[in-house]
A and B are shown apart, each in its own frame.
Chain A
Amino acid sequence: MDKRNNKAWLYLLPAFLFLGFFMIYPLIDVFVYSFEEGYNSASQTFFGVGTYNYSYVLHDPYFLQAVKNTFILVIITVPVSTGVALLISAGLNSIKPLKQMFQTIYFLPYVTNTLAVGLVFMILFKKTAYSDGLVNLLINMFGGGSVDFIDGPYWAKMFVLCFYTIWVVMPFKVLILTSALASVNQQYYDAAKVDGTSKLRTFTKITLPMISPMLFYLIITAFIGAFKAYSDAVALFGTDLNAAEMNTIVGYIYDMLYGNSGGYPSYASAAAIILLVLVLTITCINSLISKKHIYY
């Protein structure tokens, strides 16, 4: 056939080597691992084949805790971050002076190291022997009692985790939504204005439907992102997330691989596949809903 035939594969070779070795092979392997019972990573031997790994993981209280945490995180951060981002983007688009400055500031968390800035959040929220921390100071000012957000009650910790997660994901959403809002043709707004449409109605009946494709895209990626939460939690609560009751599904996978309770790639594989199924299900539901609401 074509003379260039062989050459093309030469160009593709590096990509295929990397992909084959670090993506395709592992992809197949992870399914294999997840069904190999009693796999020993040192001797690379196993006893038998079956669904024991799944059953172990699904009965592991740490895993159930991680699933619960992840779900709470998803349910709180996805709507709140999307809603707030929408509000901020709409605000940004309706002003002229200082707009660029605000945009620049809002983007900063995107280019910061999650682990590093997490530390700052930790000291802002942490209650220690010598100081209650800044956030508690504010709470005290309004007459509340100090709470230890880092080593204290479950919901206090969950609050900080959600807050930090929202802080971290906001830049991307604001960026995307601001450009989506700006791309709505000004004529629609003029038409609405001439027709005496109220601000709220213009927003819900014109703006939202017009940016709905972008909005749904953001929501889907937000779901996927929140399901894979891990670094934020480590940044706030340290690497021993199980002890802090703040582990996430991804955190559980890594802990199973390596760390204090590590050395069980089979359990990790089973957990990873359960995560995949969860994410796929949610994504499917999302796209089904979005198909119903997007007309063009």
Chain B
Amino acid sequence: MKVVLQNLTKTFPSRNKKVHADVVAVNNFDFEIADGELIGLLGPSGCGKSTALNLICGLLAPTSGKIFFGDDDVTALPPENRGVGLVFQNYALYPHLTVQQNILFPLQNVKGADRLSKADMLARAREVAGLVQIDELMERRPSELSGGQQQRVAIARALVKTPRILLLDEPLSNLDARLRLQTREELRRIQRETQITTVFVTHDQEEAMSISDTIVVMRSGVVEQVGKPQEVYDSPVNLFVAKFLGTPPINVFKGKVIGETLFIGDDAVLTVKGVTNREVYVGIRPEGFTLADSDAVSDNLLRCKLNRVEVMGRDVSVVSTHAASESETIRAIIDAESAPSFNAAEVGFTVKPAKVFLFDSRTEKRVFFEV
């Protein structure tokens, strides 16, 4: 089922009595989710991603704009008629019901001709329980399950009435780190098997990048960028997106383009064609550095004070400082084999142009250049 959001806006009345302006939680959303896609709504907390999810499922009504499921306009439809499955952040399993009763619950709501027979309901419940691999737990109560198991039950409950869209609100945030990795794969598998269009909300960029077909990066109610995870990572449209994606985070410097040469501090690091004489922010991904030979004399070197070198196995992480850096330290990830001598006071880097992004110092929008 394709989902289309058209100029979707949601405002809330301000809670602060002194400020009468409404709070815009979702501002003019306009994008399309292809059938069978797994899409991640990503952004820092308070950016409106949960509001967006609630708009799609119908728990909230939009202030303006439209929502389509396929060709159907569902904007004003109550949630129960939309055919959506929703998994809550805390799972919202009914504590007084067993796992099986929890999964059966949505089916028992159906009235009239569509209502399944008791046997069919049970069969259906077993089927989804099998899909999420909780067959063994059917008679337990939620309080007797681990976090990961509870989450599977929640997914099973959302899937049992074969929804057109599956919505997940921070599905992994209540799990510990190890379980999170495991469940991530699990989610991906379930989604592939069911081919159901899935929207999930997260503040964890790694999580979003690793399983989404498409990610939507949001900030304060505005969609900043939509695209395949790798595309967004490789080509962020603004400084916010560049900073939000990637671990370790991108290194940001204050820079200047003089002529067509990019300066960070006093270091000329790159020739940028098509950009002339302007103040910029320079973002360099940690993997965008190459260590220059310590005694080599090169024009295009970023000279940094070496802090320490952290060994991470295959790679090493070089931590250094630079006067023009926006953050306290710069982190470069380089091959362990080309690691610098640990006792050097200064290191020089050359940068890979594809890993360097320029942003306007005022608008923070991307400034494109050619090498």
Contact = CB atoms under 8 A, between A and B. Distances in A.
Contacts of B143: 296
Interface string B75-111: 0001111001110101010111100000001101111
Interface string B54-78: 0001110000000000000000001
A291 interface: no
A187 interface: yes
A206 interface: yes
B83 to A, nearest CB: 9
A2 interface: no
B106 A295 contact: no
Contacts of B78: 193
Interface stretch (A93-101, A144-152, A195-203, A259-267): A195-203
Given A210-B96, A296-B143, A194 B79 contact: yes
Highest count of chain A CB atoms <10 Å: which of B84, B106, B141: B106
B105 A187 contact: no
Contacts of B105: 195, 197, 205
A192 to B, nearest CB: 8
A16 to B, nearest CB: 42
A193 B86 CA distance: 10
A212 to B, nearest CB: 8
A38 interface: no
Contacts, number: 63
B102 to A, nearest CB: 10
Contacts of B88: 187, 190-191
B161 interface: yes
B92 A196 contact: no
Contacts of A195: 80, 105-106, 109, 157, 161
Interface residues of A, number: 19
Contact of A194 (B85, B96, B141): B85
Contacts of A188: 92, 94
A104 interface: no
A195 B93 CA distance: 13
A187 B109 CA distance: 17
Contacts of B90: 185, 187
A206 B106 CA distance: 12
B109 A201 contact: yes
B238 to A, nearest CB: 34
A295 B111 CA distance: 28
A185 B94 CA distance: 10
Interface in A243-296: 295-296
Nearest to B106: A195
Nearest to A197: B109
Nearest to A209: B96
B92 A190 contact: yes
B80 A196 contact: yes
Nearest to A296: B95
B96 A196 contact: no
Interface string A111-140: 000000000000000000000000000000
Contact of A196 (B81, B94, B141, B157): B81
A14 to B, nearest CB: 44
Nearest to B90: A187
Interface string B141-185: 101000000000000010001000000000000000000000000
B125 to A, nearest CB: 13
Nearest to A198: B109
Given A194-B80, A196-B79, A201-B108, 14 more contacts: A190-B86, A190-B88, A191-B86, A191-B88, A193-B80, A194-B79, A194-B86, A196-B81, A196-B110, A197-B80, A201-B109, A206-B94, A210-B95, A295-B96
28 contacts: A185-B90, A187-B88, A187-B90, A188-B92, A190-B92, A191-B92, A193-B59, A193-B79, A194-B59, A194-B79, A194-B80, A194-B85, A194-B86, A195-B80, A195-B157, A196-B81, A196-B106, A196-B109, A196-B110, A197-B80, A197-B105, A198-B111, A205-B105, A206-B94, A210-B95, A212-B96, A296-B95, A296-B143
Interface of B: 57-59, 78-81, 84-86, 88, 90, 92, 94-97, 105-106, 108-111, 141, 143, 157, 161
Query: Which 9 pairs, one residue from A and one from B, show the smallest C-beta to C-beta distance?
Result: A196-B80, A195-B106, A187-B92, A209-B96, A191-B92, A194-B86, A194-B79, A197-B109, A196-B109
